[in-house]
Structure 1
Amino acid sequence: MATGAERVARRPDEAMRLAWVDVAKGICILLVVMMHATLGTGEALGGEGFLHTVVAFAKPFRIPDFFLLSGLFVGRVIDRDWRLFADRRVVHFAYFYGLWVVLQSLAKYGQITDGAGPSAFLAHLAHALVEPYSTLWFIYLLAVFSVVTKLLRRLPAPVLLAGAALLQIVPLATTSYLLEEFCARYVYFVAGYLFAPRIFALAGFVRSRPVPALAGLALWALAEAWLAFTPSGLPGFPTLASLPLVSLVLGGAGALAIVAAAALLTRIGGPVTAALRACGSRSIVIYLAFFLPMAATRTLLVKTGWVPDIGLASLIVTSVAVLVPLALERAIRGTVLSFLFRRPPAFHLVGTAVEAPARPVLRPA
Structure 2
Amino acid sequence: MPAGFPPPRRPGDDRIPGRTAWVDAAKGLCIVLVVLHHVVMFLEPRGLVPGPLGMLNTALASLRMPLFFLASGLFLAAVLARPWRVLLHRRVALFGWLYALWTAVQFAVLSALPAGTAPELATQSWAGLLLSPVIPAPSMWFLYALAVFSVAARALRRVPATVLLVATGVLSGLVGAGTLEFASMAWEFMARYAFFFVLGWHGRALVERLAAATSPLRVLVAGVLAAGAAAASVVLGVREIPGVAFALNLLAVGGGVLVAAQLARWRIGAVAVALGRRTLPIYLTNILVIGGVTALLTGVRLPVAAQYALVGAVTALAVVVTLGAHRALTAARAGWLYDLPGRWAVRPAVR
TM > 0.5: yes
Q: 1:95-174 maps to which residues of 2 (within 5 A)?
A: 95-109=97-111, 123-170=127-174, 171-174=179-182
- 1:268 maps to what in 2? 266
1:203 to 192, 206, 211: 211
Give, as a single letter, the amino acid of the residue that structure 1 aligns with 2:253. Answer: A
Pair 1:299-2:295 in alignment = yes
Aligned length: 330
Contiguous gaps of at least 5 residues in structure 1: 114-119, 207-212, 356-362
5+ residue gaps, structure 2: 1-8, 116-123
Between 295-304 and 323-332, the greater mean CA deviation after superposition: 295-304
3-state secondary structure, aligned to 2:340: coil
**Pair 336,179 (structure 1): closer, same or farther in 2 beyond 3 Å:** same
1:337 corresponding residue in structure 2: 334
Whether 2:276 is the aligned partner of 1:280: answer yes
Structure 2 length as normaliser, TM-score? 0.84
Q: Which residue of 1 aligns with 2:321?
A: 324
How far 1:50 moved relative to its partner?
4.8
The Cα shift of 1:62 comes to: 1.4
> Is the contact between residue 48 and residue 302 of structure 2 (CA under 8 Å) also seen in structure 1?
no
- 1:187 equivalent to 2:202? Answer no
Distance 1:244 1:277, change over 3 A: same
Per the alignment, do residues 181 and 104 of structure 1 end up closer, same or farther by CA in structure 2, a change over 3 Å counting?
A: same
Contact preservation (8 Å) 2:97, 2:340? yes
CA distance in 1, matches of 2:248, 2:134: 30
User: Which residue identity is paired with 2:198?
Assistant: V
Residues 282 and 46 (structure 1), Cα distance of their counterparts in 2 relative to 1, 3 Å cut: closer
Q: Which structure 2 residues correspond to residues 59-98 of structure 1 after superposition, within 5 A? A: 59-98=61-100
Q: Which residue of 1 aligns with 2:40?
A: 38
Whether contact under 8 Å (2:110, 2:288) holds in the other structure is no
CA spacing shift, 1:178–1:292, aligned 2, 3 Å: closer
Deviation per residue, 1:214-255 (Å, 9 max, x gap): 222212211222233346478xxxx65564312212212322
Tell me how far apart the structure 2 counterparts of residues 87 and 251 of structure 1 sit (CA, whole Å): 32
Q: 2 CA distance for matches of 1:43 and 1:53?
A: 14
Decide whether the 8 Å contact of 1:203 with 1:260 is kept in 2: yes
Task: Give the deviation of 1:2 after TM superposition.
Answer: 1.7
State whether residues 220 and 257 of structure 1, in contact with CA within 8 Å, keep that contact through their aligned partners in structure 2: yes
CA distance in 2, matches of 1:220, 1:229: 14
Aligned-partner residue type, residue 250 of structure 2: G
Deviations 1:173-209 (A, max 9, x none): 2323343223211111000001112222322333xxx
- Report the Cα offset of residue 300 of structure 1: 2.1
CA contact (8 A) 2:218 2:258 kept: no
CA contact (8 A) 1:301 1:307 kept: no
| Counterpart secondary structure, 2:265 | helix
Q: Distance in 1 between matches of 2:56 and 2:234?
A: 19
The answer on whether the counterparts of 2:49 and 2:308 sit within 8 Å (CA) in structure 1 is no
- 1: CA distance, partners of 2:14 / 2:310: 33
On the 8 A contact 1:167/1:183 being kept in 2, the answer is: yes
Q: What CA distance in whole angstroms lies between the structure 2 residues aligned with 1:71 and 1:204?
A: 18
Give identity over the alignment, percent: 30
Deviation digits for residues 113-162 of structure 1 (CA, Å, limit 9, x no counterpart):
9xxxxxx9764432111111121011111111111111111111111110
Contact 1:298 1:317 in 2 (8 A): no
Aligned equivalent of 1:177: 185
**How far apart are the structure 2 equivalents of 1:127 and 1:198?**
39
- Corresponding position: 1:290 with 2:275: no
Rounded to whole Å, the distance in 2 between the matches of 1:130 and 1:258 is 32
Q: Which amino acid aligns with 1:313?
A: L
Aligned-residue CA RMSD in angstroms? 2.9
Bigger share in helix? 1
- Say which structure, 1 or 2, has more relative contact order (CA 8 Å, 6+ apart): 1
Q: 1:91 to 1:157 in 2, by over 3 A?
A: same
* One-letter code aligned to 1:138: F
**Residues of 2 paired with 1:253 and 1:231: CA distance?**
13
AA at the equivalent of 2:87: F
Offset, 1:68: 0.5
Matched AA of 1:78: L
Q: Distance in 1 between matches of 2:157 and 2:301?
A: 54
Deviation at 1:76, TM superposition (A): 0.9
Separation of aligned partners in 2, 1:172 and 1:80:
35
Contact 2:226–2:251 (CA under 8 A) maintained in structure 1: no
